[in-house]
Structures are given as C-alpha cells and as structure tokens.
Amino acid sequence: MTPAAPPPRVALFVTCLVDLIRPRIGFAAIRALEAAGCTVVVPAGQTCCGQPALNSGARAEATAIAKRTIALLEGHDAIVVPSGSCAATIRVQYPELFEHDPAWLARAEAVAARTYEIMAYLDEVRGWRPDTALDATATYHDSCSGLRELGIKAQPRRLLNHVAGLSLIPLKGAETCCGFGGTFCVKYPAISNAIATEKAAAIDTSGADLLLAGDLGCLMNMAGKLHRDGSAVRAFHAIEVIAGMGGGPAIGEET
Amino acid sequence: MSAAFSKRVDAALADPILKIAVERTAGTAEAKRAAAIDAFAQFEDARTRAAAIKDHVVAHLGFYLEQFEAAATAAGAHVHYARTADEACAIVIDICKAAGARTVARSKSMMGEEIGLPHALAEAGIVRVETDLAEHIIQLADERPSHIVWPAMHKTSAQVSALFKQHHALPHSEETIPAMAESARRHLREGMLGADVGISGANFLIADSGAVCTVTNEGNAELSLVPPRVHIVTAGIEKLVPSMGHAVQMLRLLARSATGATLTQYTTFYTGPKRAADPDGPDAMHIVLIDNGRSAMRDDGLAEMLRCIRCGACMNHCVVFRQIGGHAYGGTYPGPMGAVLTPALDGLAASRDLPNACTLNGKCQEVCPVKIPLPTLLRGWREKSWREGLEPATMRQGIAAWAWVAQRPRLYRLAVRAAIFAMRRFGRGWITALPLAGGWTAHRDLPAPDAESFMRRYARGER
C-alpha cells in the first residue's frame, strides 16, 4: 500500500445472517475497512449469496441468484465479505456454476477474483494491523469453508495478535467442523447436535472467556450450544474484536 | 430424512459403546496418519501422481482391461467379466460348484460385500470362513462391515471376547487381547487349511503382468489363497494400474492414509496358478472383473470417484462418520466415499440422505490420498436429487420461495423485517423455542435478531 495510492472502493457484502441477526458485524466490518484506508460502499440491492440453494442442489435457483449478485458487485475494486463461507461461494462456487456459459463465466470470474473474506483482505491485501484493545482471553475456531476453500488460518490470528490485551489460546480440534453446515443443521438435527456437543465441550474446557470465529453461522451454532449447556463463554465475530467492538454485547446478549 | 436412515442414525447416536469404539479407532488412525504424512516429504507430489495414474487408467479402461486379460491368461489364469453384482456372484458360485467346493476361505474384500457374495455362498450351501480377524468377528456376530479397513471397528474387546466364548471350540480362560488373538488364530487356521477354494479381492490389478495384488496386516490372504485348490479373485475394473511401478506408488499412499504405517505387513502379488516348478499354490486361478455400475459412474460425471483406493481416511476424518459409525450409512461403503458410491450402486432414491447428511466441511477432500473432490461429487448428487424431485416437498417449496424473494430486494427487505418482528416475539437475547425452527431449538438456543436489520440501519445513515 503506497500512501499516494487512491483509497480502494470496496463493496461490502454483509451476508444474509449478519443483516438479519447481528448488524454489529457489518458495522465492525465498515469500521475496520475504513481504518485500513478503504472507501466502503454497501450495494443496496444485496440479499443473500445463494448458498442455501446451491448446497441444497437447487442449481437453477442458485444460478439466478448468482447472476444478480454478480451484476450488483461488478465494478468495485474489491468485494469484501465478513464470512469465509459466503466469500467462498462467490470466489469458488460462482465460476463453477457458469462453466458452460462463457459470457457469464467471464463476469463470474472477474467478480470472484476481487472477492475476499474480510480478514484475509485486511491482512493480505491491505497489510493492515489494528490498534484496538480488549482485555480478554479468546480462542479461535477455524470455520471450514474459509479454512479449506480460501486458506484462511493465519490471517485472523495475525490481526487478533495486534489487539492489545487480547491473549489467544489454542482450541483443541479448532479445524474440526462444528456441525452447522448450513441447511445440514436443520435437516439432520440429531447428528448436528452430536457434533456441536463435542465442539462446545472443547470450547468450554479451553479456558477462554471468548469464542471467536469468522462466520456467523458457525458462531450461532457454537454459541447456541454453549448457552444451552450453561457455559459462560461469550461469542463474537473476530472482526468485532479487531474493530474495537469486543466490549459490546456478545452473540445472544440482549440489545 | 427417510425413516430408515433416521432409525439407523438414532440407534447409532443412542449407543455409547459404538461412540467409544469408533472414536478410539478413528482417532488413533487420524493421529497416526498425521505423523506418517508429516514424515513423508513427497506426499503432495505422490498424491498428484496417484490421482493422475488413476485418471489415466479410468480414461483408457478398455486398453488396460485387454492388456490385463492377455497377461493374466498367459500366466495361466482364467479371466471372467461381470456386468452386475448378480452376474459376478453367479460366476463365482459356478466356479465353486465345478471345483466341487464345500468350503471356501475368504480374505477380506469389500467387493465381495458389494456384490453380496456371503449371501450367494450361503444360498449355494457353501460353508464360508472369513479369515480376516475383524471379518471373522462380524461373521460371528452376523453383521456387515462398519468400516472398509476395520470392519469390526464398532466393537469393543469385551464384545469380541463374548463372541469368541460363544463360538470358538476351544474356550479361552483369559480375556486378554493376545489370548483372544490366539483363540482366533487356532480357529481360523483350521478353516484356511481345509478350504477347497480361496476367494479374495484385489487392491491392485497389474495390467502388464496380469498380477493381482493384495495387502493385509495379518497374512490371512496368503494363508487363504495358497493352500486351496482354486483361487478366485473378485475385483472392480477400476483396480487396474499399468505396471508394478505404478502399484508401488499407490501402495506408498494406501498404508499411510489408512493406518499411518509406511507399508502393510503383507503385500503380495499373485500371477497365475501354481506352475510346474512351484512347491505350492492353487491348481487354478480365476479372476472376475466386475463393472457393477462403474462404467456408468465414469460416464455420469463420477469418474474421479473411480480413483478411490479404499484407504478409509475420508471416513476416519469425517465428523458425521465419527458420530454415527458405518452401519448407519446403510450401504456397503460408509463415510464420505460411501455417500458418493452408494447412490451409484443402490440408486439415489433409496440413498438420497447420504449426500445430504454432510456438512460439506471439506476435510475428506483434504485427507484423500488421490484428491477426490468428495464435496463436489456430493453436491452433484444433491443437484440430481433436486432435479429428479426426490427432495421433500417442504424443502423444495421453501428454497424456491426464498430464492424468488432473494431476487427481489424490496420484497426481501420486507421479509427480513417480518422475520425480525416474528422472531423477537419469541425472545430477546436468546430464543429457546421457535416454531418452524424446532430442529435448531431442540438442541441449542438461537440468538434473537436485533431490532433492525443491518441494511435498514445503514440506509438510515448509521455507521
């Protein structure tokens, strides 16, 4: 990042879950992106990336949603998403949807190439470091799509290590799926619960005050299980802590 | 979820012994594999090469089948082709009958399970001795394998001890594992040495020499296949590799991925029956090359699945398998690879739950030694299930309605407002029960939405 370069115009795609359940994550994303020298725009027509349809096998529905999302996100320097899973849908799955449609494939690939998970964007593309603080002990869960489809592992930890006062402790089985899996958790609740039970136990015994991750879906699953089991561990999206919003209400705390 | 799958899953989740047994074996395998891969610097190159070898063979199956048949025939073996499971069983039973066989010794083979050979042998009145220790255990328990490498991984040593006490002629006084192994050894040796026919699968078929390769850690294949008069091999056509050198490249990945060992204790290549100068070996060798849906898989976009070398790493690392074990999958093959194979073998209508009961977390693909894109293939089955109308009507209508709204932003915003309003009536902070979300709230609380959506607050100028 050279000081003379004009600020990049970044489109924030907030994801349907953040829009519906936890707007704070969207505002934390804006705060962090602006601190990193970006001009943030939030395209008004955005809805959901289409992942539920895609993973349910509804290819025609997923393709229709992908087309309008691509049209909406074209023309920005970067598209930033506070979710590894939704970012992976745009980056990895969209081009696969159009493998037999050359015109749309080119557009899908152009958008895919500029789409980033937010912490990967701040760390790798902007080379930015936060100057925020939070006195807490936290552990980090590596959500599967971000980890395996986008290679997100070191980036959030590098950013979190710059949050003054925050100590990160390892989570046993941090790379093991929490059992959310999008529609999986409602289609196969008993299996999902068995997986989530083990994940919650690992988090609860980690010794951390806070659970952090990069995907609200996984966080809702883990935090919901922790709360049902009576655990005192509080959950935040990592970008909230990075943006200096870790002192506010955690997921599930009344607002 | 189908009633049958639901019943199997519930039974598995309610079985604390199953959980302990699966966790112990899969957990050990996971740790040992990780150590073996760490110590294998060329692992990534080896994976890439192995995937390329299998892709090449699958793309040129006709050529390699002919080459293998010619070489195996020249070595004195008889080569048979079977299109279906039933044809394969019929060929095996005919060979047994022609040989006047009353007993057969079987060396562990998933292909035998796939074609239903145990059942066919029983129908033909032929006594079957399973010589792999784990297969022996499940034969005594009258069950099917629950894992492709450890067929009895779901059983604890106490359960095995009880089975041996009940079935072995020689009672064992001590319930230690060495005592049980000794008891099984005595029992199985009799069966192996007295068998008329030995039946095995194949880990690899070597096209240029006509050799059949088996790997075991117990030596039971050698003892089952050398003493009997006749050796019958049942093998899928995708087991071909061009040469011994290629087989060795695959072997380097197979054992490490399965058990974390560098190589299995026994790796044997059988080329034809006993020759004039040989001191031992069968008088006749028959090789049954089985399609059973494999050509169709290749033509239906599942060619990558034919790379599979049956190591079991995908299931050992699968969060779903680790919770429900192998029997819950209901087919011959469990875990992620089973969730791809079973719809191809048994039909999608009967098994559409398997590709759906997966979180798509990608761990299986990460550990697969031949880089099979299992999540992509599972998503492919979901698409087919959707296209063919097999998904439940509620799911279809729900996704269709949501997708329609998701393409109309103004309607979508209204729907979000309505959802927030509705959800907040059931709780602020945490929601403990929510209509239509019972699958979620049965097991965990749901964070209630804030009073207003992000998009609404942002549009109002909030930052």
Task: Provide DSSP, B103-126.
Answer: EEEE---HHHHHHTHHHHHHHTT-
Residue-level pLDDT at A2: 55
- Burial class for B340, CB neighbours closer than 10 Å (0-12, 13-18, 19+): buried
Can you give the C-alpha Rg of chain A in angstroms? Answer: 18
Q: What is the architecture of the domain spanning A9-123?
A: 3-Layer(aba) Sandwich (3.40)
Enumerate residues 343 to 382 of chain B having a beta carbon within 8 A of any beta carbon in chain A.
356-363, 365-366, 376, 379, 381-382
Q: In Å, how far from its chain's centre is CA B378? A: 14
Residue of B397, B413, B396, B393 whose CA lies nearest to B405: B413
Residue-level pLDDT at A5: 81
Enumerate residues 7 to 66 of chain A having a beta carbon within 8 A of any beta carbon in chain B.
14, 16, 18-27, 30, 42, 44-48, 50, 52-59, 61-62, 64-65
Nearest by CB to residue A56, choosing from B324, B399, B437, is B399
Angle at alpha carbon of residue A142, lines to A137 and A146, rounded to 5°: 140
Q: In 3-state terms, what secondary structure has residue A165?
A: strand
Residues in chain B: 463
Note whether A228 contacts B444, CB cutoff 8 Å: yes
Whole-number Cα distances in Å, A135 to A171, B117, B296: 19, 64, 60
State the Cα–Cα distance between residues A83 and A77, nearest whole angstrom. 19
* Ordered structural domains, chain B, with CATH: 40-294 (3.40.50.10420), 393-459 (no CATH)
Q: What DSSP line would sit under A37-89, residue for residue?
A: TPEEE--TT----SHHHHHHT-HHHHHHHHHHHHHHHTTSSEEEES-HHHHHI
Note whether B444 contacts A193, CB cutoff 8 Å: yes
Note whether A46 contacts B455, CB cutoff 8 Å: yes
pLDDT digits (tens, 9 = 90+) for B219-230: 999 999 999 999
Q: Cβ distance B399 to A52 under 8 Å?
A: yes
State the best of B10, B15, B356, B359 to mutate against chain A, taking most chain A CBs within 10 Å: B359
pLDDT digits (tens, 9 = 90+) for B411-452: 999 999 999 999 999 999 999 999 989 999 999 999 999 999
Rounded to 5 degrees, φ, ψ at B271 are -120, 100
pLDDT digits (tens, 9 = 90+) for A219-247: 999 999 999 999 999 999 999 999 999 99
Q: What DSSP line would sit under B27-73, residue for residue?
A: HHHHHHHHHHHHT-TTHHHHHHHHHHHHHHHHHTHHHHHHHHHHHHH
Determine what percent of chain A is predicted with pLDDT higher than 90. Answer: 97
With cut-offs at 50, 70 and 90, classify the pLDDT of residue B176.
Answer: confident
Enumerate residues 60 to 99 of chain A having a beta carbon within 8 A of any beta carbon in chain B.
61-62, 64-65, 68, 96
Nearest by CB to residue B382, choosing from A46, A56, A190, is A56
Per-residue pLDDT, averaged over B200-223, amounts to 96
Q: What is the CATH number of domain A132-242?
A: 3.40.50.11810
Nearest by CB to residue A57, choosing from B385, B405, B412, is B385
Enumerate residues 103 to 122 of chain A having a beta carbon within 8 A of any beta carbon in chain B.
none
Residue-level pLDDT at B174: 64
With cut-offs at 50, 70 and 90, classify the pLDDT of residue B367.
Answer: very high
Nearest by CB to residue B449, choosing from A20, A27, A191, is A20
Residue-level pLDDT at A118: 98
DSSP letter assigned to residue B448: P
With cut-offs at 50, 70 and 90, classify the pLDDT of residue A255.
Answer: confident
Lowest-confidence pick of A177-191, B162-176, B228-242: B162-176
The yes-or-no verdict on residue B175 having pLDDT over 80 is no
Residue-level pLDDT at B172: 61
The amino acid at A250: A
Residue-level pLDDT at B190: 87
A202 — contact with chain B (CB < 8 Å)? no
Nearest by CB to residue B429, choosing from A14, A194, A253, is A253
Residue of B301, B357, B383 whose CA lies nearest to A57: B383
Note whether A225 contacts B358, CB cutoff 8 Å: no
State the Cα–Cα distance between residues B85 and B293, nearest whole angstrom. 9
| A-chain residues near B419 (CB < 8 A) | 20
Note whether A56 contacts B360, CB cutoff 8 Å: no
Residue of B393, B355, B392 whose CA lies nearest to B376: B355
| A-chain residues near B451 (CB < 8 A) | 255
B460 — contact with chain A (CB < 8 Å)? no
Note whether B395 contacts A187, CB cutoff 8 Å: yes
Neighbour tally for A65: CB within 10 Å: 27
A194 — contact with chain B (CB < 8 Å)? yes
DSSP letter assigned to residue B450: P
Note whether A252 contacts B445, CB cutoff 8 Å: yes
Tokens standing for residue B462: 């909030």
| A-chain residues near B461 (CB < 8 A) | none
Q: What's chain A's average pLDDT?
A: 97
Q: Cβ distance B325 to B12 under 8 Å?
A: yes
pLDDT digits (tens, 9 = 90+) for B37-50: 999 999 999 999 99
Tokens standing for residue A152: 């997100």
| B-chain residues near A149 (CB < 8 A) | 362
Beta-carbon contacts of residue B330 (< 8 Å; ≥ 6 apart)? B4, B5, B8, B342, B351, B354
DSSP letter assigned to residue A141: -
The yes-or-no verdict on residue B240 having pLDDT over 60 is yes
Residue-level pLDDT at B171: 61
Beta-carbon contacts of residue B422 (< 8 Å; ≥ 6 apart)? none
The yes-or-no verdict on residue B191 having pLDDT over 90 is no
Determine what percent of chain A is predicted with pLDDT higher than 70. Answer: 98
Residue-level pLDDT at A33: 98
Q: Please give the helix or strand (H or E) that residue B181 lies within, else none.
A: helix B177-194
Determine what percent of chain B is predicted with pLDDT higher than 70. Answer: 99
Enumerate residues 13 to 32 of chain B having a beta carbon within 8 A of any beta carbon in chain A.
13
State the Cα–Cα distance between residues A74 and A91, nearest whole angstrom. 13
Q: In Å, how far from its chain's centre is CA A161? A: 18
A157 — contact with chain B (CB < 8 Å)? no
State the Cα–Cα distance between residues A246 and B384, nearest whole angstrom. 44
State the Cα–Cα distance between residues B192 and B181, nearest whole angstrom. 16
Q: What DSSP line would sit under B227-290, residue for residue?
A: SSSEEEEEEEGGGEESSHHHHHHHHHHHHHHHTS-SS-SEEEEE-SS--TT-SS--SEEEEEEE
The yes-or-no verdict on residue B4 having pLDDT over 90 is yes
Please compute, for residue B382, the number of CA atoms within 13 A of its CA located in the half-sphere on the CB side: 27
The yes-or-no verdict on residue B239 having pLDDT over 60 is yes
State the Cα–Cα distance between residues B339 and B35, nearest whole angstrom. 27
Note whether B416 contacts A68, CB cutoff 8 Å: no
Residue-level pLDDT at B374: 98
| A-chain residues near B402 (CB < 8 A) | 52-53
Give the distance from residue A168's alpha carbon to the nearest chain B alpha carbon, in angstroms.
24
- Burial class for A232, CB neighbours closer than 10 Å (0-12, 13-18, 19+): exposed
pTM of the model: 0.96
Residue-level pLDDT at B173: 63
B10 — contact with chain A (CB < 8 Å)? yes
Q: In 3-state terms, what secondary structure has residue A190?
A: helix
Largest CA distance in chain A: 55
Note whether A58 contacts B403, CB cutoff 8 Å: yes
Q: Cβ distance B316 to B29 under 8 Å?
A: yes
B196 — contact with chain A (CB < 8 Å)? no
Residues in chain A: 255
Beta-carbon contacts of residue A128 (< 8 Å; ≥ 6 apart)? A1, A32, A35, A36, A37, A122, A159
- Specify the domain boundaries for CATH 3.40.50.11810 within chain A: 132-242
A165 — contact with chain B (CB < 8 Å)? no
State the best of A67, A141, A191 to mutate against chain B, taking most chain B CBs within 10 Å: A191
Note whether B407 contacts A65, CB cutoff 8 Å: yes
Per-residue pLDDT, averaged over B375-390, amounts to 97
The yes-or-no verdict on residue A3 having pLDDT over 80 is no
A230 — contact with chain B (CB < 8 Å)? no
How many helices and strands in chain B, by DSSP H and E? Answer: 24, 12
Residue of A76, A79, A14, A80 whose CA lies nearest to A47: A14
Give the distance from residue A105's alpha carbon to the nearest chain B alpha carbon, in angstroms.
18
Tokens standing for residue B448: 């209630």
Residue-level pLDDT at A243: 98
A189 — contact with chain B (CB < 8 Å)? yes
**Chain B residue with Cα closest to A177:** B361
Q: Cβ distance A138 to A169 under 8 Å?
A: yes
Residue-level pLDDT at A1: 52
Note whether A188 contacts B356, CB cutoff 8 Å: yes
State the best of B2, B441, B444 to mutate against chain A, taking most chain A CBs within 10 Å: B444
